[in-house]
Amino acid sequence: MSESLTIDFLYKTPVGRFILKGLVNPKVSKRAAKILSSRMSATFVPSFIKKNNIDIEDYIVPEGRFRSFNDFFTRKIKPGKRAISDSAFICPSDGLLTVSDISETSVFNIKNTSYSLKELLGNESLAGEFIGGTALIFRLTPSHYHRYVFCASGKIIDTIFIQGILHSVKPVCHETFPVFIQNSREYAVIDSEEYGKIVQMEVGALLVGKISNKGYVAGDEVRKGEEKGYFEYGGSSIVVLTKHRFDKAMSSSEELPVKMGTDIESIL
């Protein structure tokens, strides 16, 4: 079943809604995460590599084999396989990039949920600062490398965690869906050296995806290309907000394949 058909089934049918409420139960997610961290789950790795055409030669493989599926999913890449550009603003991860101008009426579809900028950030005042700027959304599929770095150098102003929630009402932007999900989100507000205030946000996957950041706090100095964290299993997304308006050639619906460390200015 394709991803779109699965989402339609979960959201639009009585049986699907019943299953969905069980799947987003924290106890179910914790059990799923425990299974994916078990030694038994390592047996899933070879078929996953083959199905997703992953070139395992790019990655560091522990002596013997990966201890679990999550051990494989959070694998590290070999030195030199992701060159960090000398530019001031880089792609924080591998993924499929979409770029949108930010206006007061902007709505962003991330992980099958639509957000206004205020809903995405959970902060109306902060959202207002980025009106007229640019949103860069990096969608990571299960086949992508799931570690990510800071996209720019600067000082962290604040770090925010937003717990995912499940509503049983119809939001305006999803009138056809009888339930509504907001994924867990974690972001850093950074005073960057070249681009001023930016936001770098991680959006967790619906079911078992987990954001594992390194514990940076306000006041910390960070460097472009420095590892920020990683996602455990599940397709995930990274959102970067900047007040800078790029002179981009791509449409807001186009997805551009990118690699971690690539100069963003050079591809727009």
Q: State the catalytic residues.
A: 94, 236
**What own/partner pairs with CB < 8 Å and gap ≥ 24 does 182-186 have?**
182/113, 182/115, 182/119, 183/110, 183/111, 183/113, 183/209, 184/211, 185/120, 185/122, 185/160, 185/161, 186/159, 186/160, 186/161, 186/162, 186/211, 186/213
Contact 45, 62 (CB under 8 A): no
The number of C-alpha atoms within 13 Å of 185 and in the hemisphere containing its C-beta is 25
Could you tell me the two tokens for 74?
A: 């959070």
Q: How far apart are CA 237 and CA 159, in angstroms?
A: 17
Q: Across-strand partners of 100?
A: 135
3-class state of residue 158 by DSSP: strand
Q: How far apart are CA 111 and CA 105, in angstroms?
A: 19
Q: How far apart are CA 236 and CA 144, in angstroms?
A: 10
Contact 197, 164 (CB under 8 A): no
